[in-house]
């Protein structure tokens, strides 16, 4: 017999077994760890980010109104004063500064609400269409 045949005969015929259950558990735990790290990073970034609330802001946009394709009016409240600004392709202009705070206390009339049938959500419309109605 040749030396190769003797070495093959002397070597054990077993292949090292792979523990499938242990590998699956290791992969699942690794994935859960990665997901936990992503969630912790998101929580930490929100926690460290400095975002003052609406009460801490000195400038608020009260209302906007589109006058044209690229022009609009902005009603701003800045440090207790109301400003009417015009915004367009040429830039922004202050159109009026309201000194009286009476405009703030007046209630802005809301437009009448359309009937519920006209304001049906997309889901309701899709359901009606599926039923054939």
pLDDT recorded at residue 111: 65
Cβ atoms of residues 94 and 74 within 8 Å: no
| Residue 110 to residues 75, 117, 118, 121, Cα–Cα distance (Å) | 17, 20, 18, 21
Q: Mean pLDDT for each 10-residue chunk of the chain (133 residues)?
A: 62 65 93 96 84 66 90 89 91 87 55 58 78 72
DSSP class of 60: E
pLDDT recorded at residue 20: 84
Beta-strand ranges (E) seen in 24-80 are 59-66, 72-78
pLDDT recorded at residue 60: 86
Give domain limits for the chain.
Answer: 58-103
Q: What is the pTM of this model?
A: 0.37
Cβ atoms of residues 79 and 58 within 8 Å: yes
Structure token pair of residue 9: 């005969």
CA–CA separation, 74 vs 94, rounded Å? 10
């Amino acid at each position: 017999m040749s030396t190769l045949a003797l070495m093959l005969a002397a070597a054990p015929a077993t292949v090292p077994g792979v523990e499938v259950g242990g590998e699956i558990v290791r992969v699942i735990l690794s994935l859960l760890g990665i997901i936990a790290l992503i969630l912790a990073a998101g929580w930490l970034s929100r926690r460290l980010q400095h975002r003052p609330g609406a009460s801490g802001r000195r400038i608020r946009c009260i209302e906007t109104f589109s006058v044209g394709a690229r022009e609009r009016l902005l009603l701003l409240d800045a440090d207790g004063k109301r400003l009417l600004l015009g915004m367009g392709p040429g830039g922004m202009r202050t159109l009026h500064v309201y000194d009286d705070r009476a405009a703030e206390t007046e209630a802005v009339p809301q437009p009448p609400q359309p009937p519920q049938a006209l304001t049906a959500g997309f889901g309701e419309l899709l359901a009606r269409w599926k039923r054939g109605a």
